[in-house]
Chain A
Amino acid sequence: MGCASALQMAEGGMKSIVLDQGDLGQGASGVNAGTLSLQIKRVKLMPYAIRGHQEWESMGDAVGFRKTGGYTLAFTDHEAELLHERMSLKAEAGAPIEFVSNSALREAEPNLADQVVAASYCAEDGYANSSLTGQFYRARLKQQGVQYREGFKLLGVEAGNDGYVIRSANTTVSARKLLFSAGAWLKSLTALMGVELPVQARVNTVSVTERLPMLTRSVIGHATGLLTMKQKANGTLLIGGGWQGRGTPEQGRGQVDTDSLRSNLALARHALPAAENARILRSWTGFEAHVPDFYPLAGKLPGYEDVFVLGCVRGGYTIGPYIGKLMGDYILERTTELPLFNPGRSFPEVVV
C-alpha cells in the first residue's frame, strides 16, 4: 500500500521516498494466499474491492494475476442460509455474485464434494501471486524514479526545521510529510508519534501442497469465510482461510499452530475430497492488522496535519493497490475518488 501511495505521489509531482524495515512487499502483501475474491469482501468496502480488482488485472502477468472465477460453498442448510444472506448483501453492493445450481457447479468443478447444499459464483474472482508483489512494486518505483530504502530500521522521528527527521541506526531522512503504512507494525510506529491506535493483528495461516493433477480451476471458498483454496498452474494447491497461528508482530514472523492448521486442512479436504492424500509442503503465517470496527485507517494521524496513516484494510491485498492510490491523492490534496477512513474516529470498546 505504501508503494502504491508513493507511486501516486510521484505521478502528482511530489518527491517521495519509501522506507521499509525489511524488503518491499514482504509483510502481509507478500505472504498472504493471493486470493482476489469479491465474495469475501465487506459490503461497505465493495466499491474499493471492485476497483482493487481492476488494479490487479492491469498489473497482469507481472503479479501472476488470473481471473478464474470463484465458488463459495455451503455444506449444510445453516451454511446455505448464511451464504444467501451474505452474498445477497454483497451483490446489492455491486459484486457480480450469483447463486448457482448444483448441476452447474458439478459441471464446472466435478471434483468438489458431493455434499454441497448451495453455492455462489463470482466471475470476477481469481488470484495473484503474492510473492511477486514486492518485485513488482520495486520495478515500478525504479521506473518512476521513486527512491526506496530496504532494511531501514526506524529508530525515531523528530520534528525538524521544515517537517520531520526520520532516524535509523546509520542514516537520517528528512521529509515534510510522513505516511505510516506498515500493516501490523503500525501500532509501534504511531506510538513513536505519541498516538495510540487500537491496532490488533490476526495471525493468518497459509499452506501449499505438493503438485497434484489438475483438480479445480476456480478459487474455492466456504460460506463461513474460513477457507480459500486455489490450484496454481504448476499443480500446487494453496490453502488459506484465516486460521490462526501464534505470535505477535513485535516478536517476529509468527508460528503455525498445528491444531488450527489441522482444522483448516480438514475443511479443505471436505471441499475437495480428491486432494485428500495431498501432502502439505509448507505452512506459514502472516499478520493481518485491523482495528475494532474492521474498517481501514486511511487519513491523518490524530493530532497531526502532515502525518498520515494507511493500513488495517480488511481484504487489504485486494484493496491495497487502490486505496494506496487514494491515499496518494489525499496527500497531494486532491479530491479522492472514494472517501477515506479517518483514523481519528472513535472505536468501539475492545472486548478482550
Chain B
Amino acid sequence: MFQLAPNHQDDIVRTAKIRFTFDGESFLAHEGETLAAALMRAKLLHIRDAPGDESPRGVFCCMGLCQECVVQVDGKTIESCRLSVSPDLHVTSLRRQLDT
C-alpha cells in the first residue's frame, strides 16, 4: 500500500534569498533558481501577452520550448524558465508592449 515518506522539508537547504525586480517592483528569490520558479512563487502568473490576440500568457512548458514565459533582460528576450536568478537582475515583462 501507499507509504507516506517522512517529511524532509526542514532538511532542505536553500540558497540565499536575493532580490530581483519585475517591471520595477522588487521580489525575493533564491539565488540560482529559475526566474520562472521565482515568478510563480511571487504569484506573478501573467508574464506576457500573446502576440496575436494579446490575451495573457504565463509559464507553461518550463523547458524552453513554448516561449510563453519570455521576458526581457538587458534588452534581450529570453525564456524565464532558462534564466537563473542572480543579484541585480532586472526583468521587464512583455505585457502589452508589442508594438509591431
A214–B52 touching, CB < 8 Å? yes
**Residues of B in contact, count (CB < 8 Å):** 9
B50–A211 touching, CB < 8 Å? yes
Can you list, as one digit per residue, whether each of A197-213 has a CB less than 8 Å from chain B (1) or not (0)?
A: 00000000000001111
Is A281 an interface residue when CB atoms closer than 8 A count as contact? yes
CB within 8 Å for A215 and B100 given contacts A210-B67, A281-B67 = yes
A213–B77 touching, CB < 8 Å? no
Residues on B with C-beta less than 8 A from A132 are none
Is B47 an interface residue when CB atoms closer than 8 A count as contact? no
Q: How far is the CA of A279 from the CA of B98 in the complex (A)?
A: 14
Residues on A with C-beta less than 8 A from B70 are 210
Is A235 an interface residue when CB atoms closer than 8 A count as contact? yes
Closest to A273 in B: B100
B52–A235 touching, CB < 8 Å? yes
Q: How far is the CA of A94 from the CA of B94 in the complex (A)?
A: 48
Residues on A with C-beta less than 8 A from B52 are 211, 213-214, 235
Closest to A215 in B: B100
Closest to B98 in A: A213
Is B58 an interface residue when CB atoms closer than 8 A count as contact? no
Residues on B with C-beta less than 8 A from A277 are 100
Is B51 an interface residue when CB atoms closer than 8 A count as contact? yes
CB of A277 to closest CB in B, whole Å: 8
A213–B67 touching, CB < 8 Å? no
Q: How far is the CA of A215 from the CA of B100 in the complex (A)?
A: 9
B51–A211 touching, CB < 8 Å? yes
Is A113 an interface residue when CB atoms closer than 8 A count as contact? no
A279–B77 touching, CB < 8 Å? yes
Residues on B with C-beta less than 8 A from A235 are 51-52
Q: How far is the CA of A274 from the CA of B51 in the complex (A)?
A: 13
Q: How far is the CA of A279 from the CA of B67 in the complex (A)?
A: 10
Contacts of A230-275 to chain B: CB distance below 8 A? 235, 274
Q: How far is the CA of A242 from the CA of B98 in the complex (A)?
A: 31
Q: How far is the CA of A210 from the CA of B48 in the complex (A)?
A: 13
Closest to B67 in A: A210
CB of B87 to closest CB in A, whole Å: 26
Residues on A with C-beta less than 8 A from B50 are 211
Can you list, as one digit per residue, whether each of B28-71 has a CB less than 8 Å from chain A (1) or not (0)?
A: 00000000000000000000001110000000000001010010
Interface of B toward A, CB cutoff 8 Å: 50-52, 65, 67, 70, 77, 98, 100
Query: 6 nearest interchain CB pairs?
Result: A213-B51, A210-B67, A211-B51, A212-B51, A235-B52, A274-B100
7 A-B contacts (beta carbon < 8 Å): A210-B51, A210-B67, A211-B50, A215-B100, A235-B51, A277-B100, A279-B77
Q: A210-B67, A212-B100 are in contact. List 15 more A-B contacts (CB 8 A).
A: A210-B51, A210-B70, A211-B50, A211-B51, A211-B52, A211-B67, A212-B51, A213-B51, A213-B98, A213-B100, A214-B52, A215-B100, A277-B100, A279-B77, A281-B67
